[in-house]
Amino acid sequence: MNQIAQATRSGNSFRHLAFVASDTAEAQEAKERLSAIYGGTAPEDSDAIVALGGDGLMLQTLHAFLGTRIPIYGMNRGSVGFLMNEYREEGLLERISNADITAIHPLSMTVTDKDGLQYTARAINEVSLLRQTSQAARLRISVDGRVRLEELICDGCLVATPAGSTAYNLSAHGPILPIYAPLLALTPISAFRPRRWRGGLLPNRARVDIEVLDPGKRPVSASADHKEFRDVIQVTVHEDADMDGLIMFDSDHGWDERILTEMFRY
Protein backbone atom coordinates (compact mmCIF):
# COMPACT_ATOMS: atom_id res chain seq x y z
CA MET A 1 0.00 0.00 0.00
CA ASN A 2 1.36 3.42 -0.97
CA GLN A 3 2.66 5.61 1.83
CA ILE A 4 0.89 8.55 0.16
CA ALA A 5 -2.82 7.84 0.03
CA GLN A 6 -5.90 9.66 -1.17
CA ALA A 7 -9.24 9.93 0.59
CA THR A 8 -12.31 11.70 -0.73
CA ARG A 9 -14.78 13.33 1.63
CA SER A 10 -17.37 13.83 -1.07
CA GLY A 11 -20.66 14.87 0.49
CA ASN A 12 -19.22 15.44 3.95
CA SER A 13 -20.07 18.69 5.68
CA PHE A 14 -17.36 21.19 6.59
CA ARG A 15 -19.18 23.67 8.81
CA HIS A 16 -16.35 25.33 10.69
CA LEU A 17 -13.68 26.96 8.54
CA ALA A 18 -10.55 28.78 9.61
CA PHE A 19 -8.93 31.34 7.33
CA VAL A 20 -5.20 32.07 7.27
CA ALA A 21 -3.51 34.46 4.85
CA SER A 22 -0.10 35.68 3.78
CA ASP A 23 0.94 39.25 4.55
CA THR A 24 0.09 40.67 1.12
CA ALA A 25 -2.77 43.14 0.82
CA GLU A 26 -4.53 40.90 -1.70
CA ALA A 27 -4.48 37.89 0.63
CA GLN A 28 -5.53 39.91 3.69
CA GLU A 29 -8.46 41.45 1.82
CA ALA A 30 -9.57 37.99 0.68
CA LYS A 31 -9.44 36.76 4.28
CA GLU A 32 -11.65 39.62 5.44
CA ARG A 33 -14.22 39.05 2.69
CA LEU A 34 -14.38 35.28 3.16
CA SER A 35 -14.59 35.58 6.95
CA ALA A 36 -17.51 37.96 6.55
CA ILE A 37 -19.31 35.51 4.25
CA TYR A 38 -18.55 32.19 5.94
CA GLY A 39 -17.58 33.15 9.47
CA GLY A 40 -14.33 31.94 10.94
CA THR A 41 -13.05 29.84 13.79
CA ALA A 42 -9.69 29.10 15.36
CA PRO A 43 -7.62 26.76 13.15
CA GLU A 44 -7.29 24.11 15.86
CA ASP A 45 -11.11 23.97 16.22
CA SER A 46 -11.92 23.95 12.51
CA ASP A 47 -13.10 21.23 10.14
CA ALA A 48 -10.78 22.65 7.46
CA ILE A 49 -8.28 25.47 7.13
CA VAL A 50 -8.46 27.76 4.10
CA ALA A 51 -5.01 29.14 3.22
CA LEU A 52 -4.98 32.32 1.14
CA GLY A 53 -1.69 33.14 -0.54
CA GLY A 54 0.88 31.25 -2.57
CA ASP A 55 2.79 28.00 -2.29
CA GLY A 56 4.98 29.42 0.48
CA LEU A 57 1.97 29.97 2.71
CA MET A 58 0.67 26.49 1.93
CA LEU A 59 3.99 24.97 3.02
CA GLN A 60 4.00 27.04 6.22
CA THR A 61 0.44 25.98 7.00
CA LEU A 62 1.12 22.31 6.31
CA HIS A 63 4.16 22.45 8.61
CA ALA A 64 2.15 24.17 11.35
CA PHE A 65 -0.59 21.52 11.30
CA LEU A 66 1.34 18.32 10.60
CA GLY A 67 -0.17 15.44 12.52
CA THR A 68 -3.40 17.23 13.41
CA ARG A 69 -5.44 15.59 10.62
CA ILE A 70 -7.02 18.97 9.82
CA PRO A 71 -7.19 19.27 6.01
CA ILE A 72 -5.93 22.44 4.34
CA TYR A 73 -7.58 23.95 1.29
CA GLY A 74 -5.53 26.60 -0.49
CA MET A 75 -6.77 29.36 -2.76
CA ASN A 76 -4.26 31.28 -4.83
CA ARG A 77 -3.63 34.85 -3.77
CA GLY A 78 0.07 34.63 -4.62
CA SER A 79 2.16 34.05 -7.74
CA VAL A 80 2.79 30.45 -8.82
CA GLY A 81 0.15 28.68 -6.74
CA PHE A 82 0.94 25.11 -7.83
CA LEU A 83 -0.35 23.83 -4.48
CA MET A 84 -3.39 26.12 -4.52
CA ASN A 85 -6.87 26.01 -5.97
CA GLU A 86 -8.40 28.79 -8.04
CA TYR A 87 -9.65 31.71 -5.97
CA ARG A 88 -13.44 32.02 -6.01
CA GLU A 89 -15.60 33.33 -3.21
CA GLU A 90 -18.87 31.68 -4.20
CA GLY A 91 -19.70 28.06 -3.35
CA LEU A 92 -16.70 27.58 -1.06
CA LEU A 93 -18.42 25.16 1.32
CA GLU A 94 -19.53 22.96 -1.57
CA ARG A 95 -16.08 23.01 -3.14
CA ILE A 96 -14.42 21.99 0.11
CA SER A 97 -17.00 19.27 0.81
CA ASN A 98 -16.32 17.72 -2.60
CA ALA A 99 -12.56 18.19 -2.67
CA ASP A 100 -10.06 15.34 -2.80
CA ILE A 101 -7.88 15.00 0.29
CA THR A 102 -4.30 13.85 -0.16
CA ALA A 103 -2.06 12.77 2.72
CA ILE A 104 1.53 13.99 2.38
CA HIS A 105 4.30 12.38 4.42
CA PRO A 106 7.23 14.70 5.16
CA LEU A 107 10.91 13.93 5.09
CA SER A 108 12.76 13.77 8.39
CA MET A 109 16.23 15.32 8.32
CA THR A 110 18.89 14.84 10.99
CA VAL A 111 22.05 16.92 10.68
CA THR A 112 25.33 16.92 12.57
CA ASP A 113 27.32 20.15 12.45
CA LYS A 114 31.07 20.75 12.74
CA ASP A 115 30.76 21.09 16.53
CA GLY A 116 29.13 17.66 16.83
CA LEU A 117 25.67 19.09 17.61
CA GLN A 118 22.64 17.33 16.13
CA TYR A 119 19.42 18.90 14.89
CA THR A 120 16.25 17.53 13.31
CA ALA A 121 13.68 19.11 11.00
CA ARG A 122 10.94 18.03 8.61
CA ALA A 123 10.53 18.87 4.94
CA ILE A 124 7.39 18.64 2.85
CA ASN A 125 9.13 19.57 -0.42
CA GLU A 126 12.80 18.68 -0.13
CA VAL A 127 15.97 18.43 1.90
CA SER A 128 18.75 20.29 0.11
CA LEU A 129 22.49 20.63 0.69
CA LEU A 130 24.31 23.65 -0.77
CA ARG A 131 27.88 24.94 -0.80
CA GLN A 132 28.35 27.97 1.46
CA THR A 133 31.30 29.53 -0.38
CA SER A 134 32.76 29.72 -3.87
CA GLN A 135 34.33 26.29 -3.28
CA ALA A 136 32.36 23.36 -4.71
CA ALA A 137 31.02 20.85 -2.20
CA ARG A 138 32.43 17.33 -1.97
CA LEU A 139 29.81 14.81 -0.84
CA ARG A 140 29.70 11.05 -0.24
CA ILE A 141 26.24 9.51 -0.68
CA SER A 142 25.04 6.26 0.91
CA VAL A 143 21.65 4.58 0.58
CA ASP A 144 20.53 2.21 3.33
CA GLY A 145 24.05 2.03 4.73
CA ARG A 146 25.81 1.26 1.45
CA VAL A 147 28.00 3.85 -0.28
CA ARG A 148 26.57 4.48 -3.73
CA LEU A 149 28.61 7.52 -4.75
CA GLU A 150 32.08 7.80 -3.28
CA GLU A 151 32.51 11.45 -4.21
CA LEU A 152 30.15 13.98 -5.77
CA ILE A 153 31.70 17.38 -6.55
CA CYS A 154 28.85 19.82 -7.00
CA ASP A 155 27.02 22.91 -5.85
CA GLY A 156 24.87 20.58 -3.77
CA CYS A 157 22.21 17.91 -3.94
CA LEU A 158 18.66 17.37 -2.76
CA VAL A 159 16.18 14.68 -1.77
CA ALA A 160 12.65 15.53 -2.89
CA THR A 161 9.22 14.10 -2.14
CA PRO A 162 6.63 13.68 -4.90
CA ALA A 163 4.97 16.84 -3.57
CA GLY A 164 8.27 18.70 -3.89
CA SER A 165 9.37 17.19 -7.19
CA THR A 166 7.90 20.13 -9.15
CA ALA A 167 9.68 22.73 -7.00
CA TYR A 168 13.47 23.08 -6.51
CA ASN A 169 13.95 19.52 -7.77
CA LEU A 170 12.47 20.38 -11.16
CA SER A 171 14.63 23.52 -11.42
CA ALA A 172 17.67 21.28 -10.83
CA HIS A 173 16.49 19.06 -13.74
CA GLY A 174 15.21 16.32 -11.43
CA PRO A 175 12.26 14.08 -12.38
CA ILE A 176 8.62 14.94 -11.75
CA LEU A 177 7.01 12.26 -9.57
CA PRO A 178 3.29 11.41 -9.50
CA ILE A 179 1.95 12.29 -6.08
CA TYR A 180 1.09 8.67 -5.19
CA ALA A 181 4.41 7.22 -6.36
CA PRO A 182 6.25 5.52 -3.43
CA LEU A 183 9.48 7.21 -4.50
CA LEU A 184 11.97 9.91 -3.58
CA ALA A 185 14.10 11.86 -6.06
CA LEU A 186 17.83 12.18 -5.32
CA THR A 187 19.05 15.00 -7.56
CA PRO A 188 22.46 16.69 -7.91
CA ILE A 189 22.74 20.46 -8.21
CA SER A 190 25.28 21.53 -10.85
CA ALA A 191 27.35 18.34 -10.67
CA PHE A 192 30.98 18.73 -11.78
CA ARG A 193 32.21 15.20 -11.04
CA PRO A 194 30.86 12.74 -12.03
CA ARG A 195 29.63 15.08 -14.75
CA ARG A 196 27.20 12.62 -16.31
CA TRP A 197 25.45 11.62 -13.08
CA ARG A 198 21.88 12.90 -13.17
CA GLY A 199 20.61 11.50 -9.88
CA GLY A 200 18.36 8.58 -9.04
CA LEU A 201 14.94 7.43 -7.95
CA LEU A 202 14.75 5.73 -4.56
CA PRO A 203 11.99 3.81 -2.80
CA ASN A 204 10.34 6.03 -0.20
CA ARG A 205 11.43 3.63 2.56
CA ALA A 206 15.11 4.32 1.78
CA ARG A 207 17.49 6.12 4.15
CA VAL A 208 19.92 8.51 2.53
CA ASP A 209 23.15 9.47 4.32
CA ILE A 210 25.21 12.33 2.93
CA GLU A 211 28.69 12.95 4.32
CA VAL A 212 30.41 16.28 3.71
CA LEU A 213 34.03 15.72 2.69
CA ASP A 214 36.57 18.44 3.50
CA PRO A 215 34.04 20.58 5.45
CA GLY A 216 36.72 22.99 6.66
CA LYS A 217 37.68 24.16 3.17
CA ARG A 218 34.32 23.41 1.53
CA PRO A 219 31.54 24.21 4.06
CA VAL A 220 27.98 23.09 3.32
CA SER A 221 24.56 24.08 4.62
CA ALA A 222 21.50 21.82 4.82
CA SER A 223 17.87 22.94 4.58
CA ALA A 224 14.57 21.20 5.25
CA ASP A 225 12.22 23.40 3.21
CA HIS A 226 12.81 26.84 4.77
CA LYS A 227 14.76 25.71 7.87
CA GLU A 228 18.54 25.94 7.37
CA PHE A 229 21.52 24.61 9.31
CA ARG A 230 25.07 25.73 8.45
CA ASP A 231 28.46 24.04 8.56
CA VAL A 232 27.05 20.52 8.53
CA ILE A 233 29.23 17.42 8.25
CA GLN A 234 26.57 14.68 8.08
CA VAL A 235 22.94 14.61 6.93
CA THR A 236 20.49 11.71 7.16
CA VAL A 237 17.16 11.79 5.35
CA HIS A 238 14.19 9.42 5.38
CA GLU A 239 10.44 9.66 4.96
CA ASP A 240 8.48 10.03 8.19
CA ALA A 241 5.70 7.55 7.46
CA ASP A 242 4.11 8.12 10.89
CA MET A 243 3.46 11.82 10.24
CA ASP A 244 1.29 13.45 7.61
CA GLY A 245 -0.37 16.62 6.48
CA LEU A 246 -3.65 16.75 4.56
CA ILE A 247 -4.02 18.93 1.47
CA MET A 248 -7.24 19.44 -0.50
CA PHE A 249 -7.76 19.94 -4.22
CA ASP A 250 -10.87 20.61 -6.25
CA SER A 251 -12.01 17.29 -7.70
CA ASP A 252 -12.12 18.70 -11.25
CA HIS A 253 -8.49 19.85 -11.12
CA GLY A 254 -6.66 17.46 -8.81
CA TRP A 255 -2.97 16.85 -8.31
CA ASP A 256 -2.76 14.15 -10.99
CA GLU A 257 -3.91 16.66 -13.60
CA ARG A 258 -1.49 19.30 -12.33
CA ILE A 259 1.42 16.86 -12.51
CA LEU A 260 0.55 15.76 -16.05
CA THR A 261 0.24 19.39 -17.15
CA GLU A 262 3.68 20.15 -15.72
CA MET A 263 5.23 17.06 -17.33
CA PHE A 264 4.15 18.19 -20.81
CA ARG A 265 4.91 21.87 -20.36
CA TYR A 266 7.53 23.22 -22.77
According to the annotation, is 166 in a ligand binding site?
yes
Instruction: For residues 10 and 55, state if they share a domain.
Output: yes
**Spans of the chain, pLDDT less than 50:** 1-11
What is the total count of domains within the chain?
A: 2
User: DSSP letters along the chain, please?
Assistant: --SS-EEE-TT-----EEEEE-SSHHHHHHHHHHHHHH----GGG-SEEEEEE-HHHHHHHHHHTTTS---EEEEE-SS--TTSBPP--TTHHHHHHT-EEEEEPPEEEEEEETTS-EEEEEESSEEEEEESSSSPEEEEEEETTEEEEEEEEESEEEEE-TTTTTTHHHHTTPPP--TT-SEEEEEEES--BSTT---EEEETT--EEEEEESTTTS-EEEEETTEEE-SEEEEEEEE-TT--EEEEE-TTS-HHHHHHHHHT--
According to the annotation, is 86 in a ligand binding site?
no
Assess whether 231 carries a catalytic annotation: no
Instruction: For residues 121 and 99, state if they share a domain.
Output: no
Instruction: For residues 134 and 234, state if they share a domain.
Output: yes
**Predicted structure pTM score:** 0.87
Q: Is 205:144 a contact under the CB 8 Å cutoff? A: no
Does some domain include residue 146? Answer: yes
Within 8 A by CB and 6+ apart from 142, the residues are 148, 208, 209, 210, 211
pLDDT tens digits, one per residue of 64-104: 999 999 999 999 998 777 889 999 999 999 999 999 998 99
Does some domain include residue 1? Answer: no
According to the annotation, is 125 in a ligand binding site?
yes
According to the annotation, is 126 in a ligand binding site?
yes
Instruction: For residues 215 and 253, state if they share a domain.
Output: no
Does some domain include residue 192? Answer: yes
Instruction: For residues 31 and 99, state if they share a domain.
Output: yes
Instruction: For residues 101 and 165, state if they share a domain.
Output: no
Instruction: For residues 101 and 118, state if they share a domain.
Output: no
pLDDT value at residue 223: 98
Does some domain include residue 151? Answer: yes
pLDDT value at residue 1: 33
According to the annotation, is 89 in a ligand binding site?
no
In this structure, what is the dihedral angle of CA atoms 51, 52, 53, 57, given to the nearest 10 degrees? -20
Supply the range of the domain harboring residue 170.
107-239
Does some domain include residue 206? Answer: yes
pLDDT value at residue 12: 53
Instruction: For residues 81 and 154, state if they share a domain.
Output: no
pLDDT value at residue 185: 98
Instruction: For residues 176 and 253, state if they share a domain.
Output: no
Instruction: For residues 72 and 121, state if they share a domain.
Output: no
Which position among 23, 55, 115, 250 bears the catalytic label? 55
CATH value at residue 16:
3.40.50.10330
Instruction: For residues 52 and 80, state if they share a domain.
Output: yes
CATH value at residue 113:
2.60.200.30
Instruction: For residues 160 and 205, state if they share a domain.
Output: yes
